[in-house]
Amino acid sequence: MTLTGHSLIAGQTVAGEGKTTFAFNPATNEQLEPAYTLLTEEQLKAATAAAKEAFASFGTLDPETHAAFLDAIADNIEAIGDELIVRAGQETGLPAARLQGERARTTGQLRLFANVVRQGDFRGVRIDPALPERTPLPRADIRQRQIPLGPVAVFGASNFPLAFSTAGGDTASALAAGCPVVFKAHNAHPGTSELVGQAIAKAVAGFGLHPGVFSLIYGPGSSIGQALVADPAIKAVGFTGSQSAGIALMRTAAARPEPIPVYAEMSSLNPVFVFPGALNGSAEQIDALAQQYITAVTGSSGQLCTSPGLLFAPAGEAGDKLAAAVGRAVSACAGQTMLTAGIAGSWNSGTEALGAAGNVTIVGTGTPGPTENAPAPAIYGTDISNFISNEVLHAEIFGAASLVIRYSSAEELIEATNRIEGQLTASLQLTEEDYPTAAQLIPALEQKVGRIIVNGWPTGVEVGHAMVHGGPFPATSDTRTTSVGTLAINRFLRPVAYQNLPQELLPAPLKDTNPWHLNRRIDGTVIAAEKEEVNA
């Protein structure tokens, strides 16, 4: 595919009338062609207006056409081939194997949501039939379904140029809900975004959909991003990024004459709790546990939203052995190129602040990588009383750095858990002998995290039906939701009830004939589509 360096608005290439920007290869700091033109706020209105026009037809697509459209996007992304992997690697410094896996996750998400659309339970059909003979008052016929909110603004993430970007989870779930998407590309990987944006636009055209179903825009987050969220045509926002940027978007959305929801994934330390039983094994087993921890900390240079930034280890001899093993494991690691020079600079500032905090020691460091933006991984240490009292130690460092915290009792772990902010995950390393202690901690963790993991690590988020990738603020802006998995579709839906409407006026999911063959809750009982048809 040919990169144009321009936005893609409702199927048309549009040159921005603002400034221009370039992507840079973080491994070499080399400027990449082409230059990308940035939209003005006036130009942005064409994208939001087109999305608004597209909503009526797109939001009422029949399930098979809708699902086939999502499948086609996945097919088109795969058809780009190696060009996509090469460009994404140039723009992010991520290795090809990581990007190939991320592409598979991206297309897998789209196909998963296609199946959700075909199956149809997300429509939430409920029917309370009329009870005209009920006393003392009859009951009206009341039917409910979930409908799409309207056009959604989605912001690309820096750390996932594919799976949390142009056709990533927010876009896939919004399109599956029936919401047109205006996608704000991340300026660090504009070429990758354009290649995927062209694949989506091709699917839109191929199915004869209104071109406003998808637009890809380039512009500064401080102006175009804010203007996008403020635009009255936009009805919800999906965002993955820094806490400061997420909060800025939340404020803009809340200040609108019509406030809208912002589903922002922001910061998380993903604490790991090592219980004494997990350290009762051999030296080799302790070494293996330490290596697993370091692998989770350093994978993708630590630039994962679920990278473990805290590890609570017992005080005493067993914990000393684990700390020593962690130091040995990290010393064998070399730094990996970070996504941008700016992110590498923020990592340096964060680790300097952590290292300068009182009563913080170095557990171990690796070696710098071969590029300027590949700092050496670092593990720090402190005691739990210092962690509880020092807010500096609660700050997220985005990258390959983590803090080992030594504790002496379950009560200390509960107090520390109560002091930390909301998190995406918490992981427990334990054996059966630790179950009574873990049982005391889990209720506190439930109030702080979206996912609790036993004898595993938080990195590697499964995309499925039961996954929760969310958590209390500031991990996310809305603790009731998830940005990964099929439940993510609920963010972009709302319920509508229909009372005493004749069959001729009811939408298809609510008609007695059930033309879309949906499972439905009738008078409180779930009735499978097949059973309903047999009894009809």
Q: Of the candidates 432, 438, 392, which has an alpha carbon nearest to the alpha carbon of residue 417?
A: 438
* 447: three-class secondary structure by DSSP: coil
305 is known as an active-site residue: yes
DSSP letter at 532 equals H
Cα 515 → chain centroid: 34
* 240: three-class secondary structure by DSSP: strand
Instruction: Name 112's Cβ contacts closer than 8 Å, sequence gap at least 6.
Output: 463, 464, 486
* 433: three-class secondary structure by DSSP: helix
The catalytic residue among 53, 91, 265, 396 is 265
* Separation CA 155–CA 248 (nearest Å): 13
* Helix, strand, coil percentages, rounded to 5, for the chain: 45, 20, 35
What is the bridge-based pairing of β-strands 181-184 and 525-527?
Answer: unpaired
Whole-number Cα distances in Å, 462 to 42, 73, 490, 518: 40, 21, 18, 27
Backbone angles phi, psi at 162, to 5 degrees: -120, -60
Q: How many CB atoms lie within 10 A of CB 355?
A: 13
- The answer to whether the Cα torsion of 380, 382, 386, 388 is positive or negative is positive
SS3 sequence of 11-68? CEEECCCCCEEEEEECCCCEEEEEEEECCCHHHHHHHHHHHHHHHHHHCCCCHHHHHH
- Structure tokens belonging to residue 301: 């240079």
Q: Of the candidates 468, 438, 434, which has an alpha carbon nearest to the alpha carbon of residue 451?
A: 468
Instruction: Name 75's Cβ contacts closer than 8 Å, sequence gap at least 6.
Output: none
- The answer to whether the CB of 73 falls within 8 A of the CB of 110 is yes
Place of tokens 């002496």: 408
* 406: three-class secondary structure by DSSP: strand
The catalytic residue among 305, 333, 396, 412 is 305
Q: 149 has which bridge partners?
A: none
* Separation CA 97–CA 120 (nearest Å): 34
Q: Of the candidates 195, 212, 224, 177, which has an alpha carbon nearest to the alpha carbon of residue 38?
A: 224
* Separation CA 108–CA 35 (nearest Å): 31
Q: Give the residue numbers marked as catalytic.
A: 265, 305
